[in-house]
Structure 1
């Protein structure tokens, strides 16, 4: 028997809001702060890249603990706590007067675990626990919050910087994020369907005791523990592909200064990033539906090819049309990756210990990601141009693509017994 309404969709809606609000905390809009903060505080592009690295490295370390906590307790308390840490850190950035303070604050935000730099464990793992058959669609809807949040907060941030300066802009963004996330998460989030007497996708409505809940969980998917996951070739190949892709993507913070340095109008550059985010939103639902029907590794490999095409267009761009074409392709690739990568882990290793498994792999991926931004910044500092860095990034994306398409799903000898 199926319920007329499944509470899992409330979880999806709640995490949509959380994802939307995280883009007020210096994610896609961070590039807008590079030039004004660099000019006032005296930070080189390479050093600014290390600020994002400190946040990403901190997020990687935190993910080991956060993944286990999400599996055990759910995200109902973790997300509001993280939102408070992140929001207060964002507000404090506006009062920073030197690089040391900025490094500490960016690291604190990373330890909060809520930003996308942390791999989205707090917002993607709960969805995977509530859905199996419709997991792709559910993750797509939740992830659309990220795309729409970027679409909204990039121009909002541009307006705030112009109207009140970059310091006050950080203050208002921090307040907005906390106001949206904390009460919403506390009110609506629940750990997993079994806690409410339900099953994934709403397939049953009878009350389940704890033992029955455990058996139901095992019946839905093979139960992969951390140990069994670590023993598979697929785990390490996925980690390698995503680490390579992460390193390449880490340089994305330099896209805005690249366009501005190339002589493109500030406001049009800001608009192109919003177009990028909107383009991501347009493909997410289709990607989610596709993931429920075709092998996930082929979908997950697509972004690596798409990013490469966007960069090639960017390097040869001589018109606003080229800039927006690159933004559209980049956005569609990003949207595909945002949905497909967390789905891939869940489809390969199940939902029972998903947070723990992803929490262990995230440090490697995020260390690689964290190195991309400063590496690209130093190329600019020493050569006065980003061109060589972008060419290397294309080669790295090609390697990640080849690895990803070759990762077949692992096989567990025997699921956990009933």
Structure 2
């Protein structure tokens, strides 16, 4: 039994569940998923002994960070690298992201894992002077990702959102970049709930208008777009959008609220996945997709539907702080030895929020060693002054 605080400040008793049988994992090639392409957006592990500050350069524990990626690959998942789950723009600067991309892409090549890497403009730390400056920043990052051997993910740019005067500036910028790519890329539409600086992306705060611009970019370069990653937390809009994509262009759901139904799909199609919630759910998510590979949609939903409550909790407003819960669960699950984050972001969620995350994750059987998870939860509670 463990005593946990709830949102009202009350303390109640919780009885952890017994250990769940581990999900088998082998080499990435042996564990390949067939019916869907699935990427887990992976977190970075901070170096807890580094003498740094929240606004200083990120200090990363590279061994632990790459070990976590090998864990994801071993279950057949691809890794979406240097995305927002890796605290891109929230503790991880471009220098750190560039090193992460190089190391992760090399590791992927060594073990045969799939890796897609974020391409942005976050080396522009001040106000971007003009669109040419934004294009040059994108080009620098695109060249690095292609040289490293990763699949580029063209991420939404705060700098572009700040200087663009309308839809034409987005059409010109993305058209310029897509004409240069050597291989098809993934376009990423990240909503303002994940980053308020991206409000009005694609030239309009009206999502219907923005969608038309987004689709115009894709229609002009369908051979250069492998797929789109949509993170708007609006299942209906995603379904509408994926039905309008050119043939051969995939939709990768980034909807951490509705992913089971979107991945399962309907009579007119389905979404692949590129999800932050698949960081803590990695083995369970891979197990569910393997069930789907057999055509068993019901079995897939039975495995994945119960995880939505945890995901909605981790991604509750302010959504951009979901990374704290993701790293917290990685610590409890034994993927790292501490609950420290780059930028000091471990303080971004309250103790009651973390306690509920522990309870929900334990109920799903996400902890390979429930006793270790309980012990670590107790150690955190003691720091906050919760008596045993």
TM-score higher than 0.5 here? Answer: no
Q: Tell me the TM-score normalized by structure 2.
A: 0.26
Identify which of structures 1 and 2 has the higher relative contact order when contacts are C-alpha pairs closer than 8 Å and 6+ apart: 1
- Higher percent of residues as helix: 1
Q: Tell me the TM-score normalized by structure 1.
A: 0.24
- Higher percent of residues as strand: 2
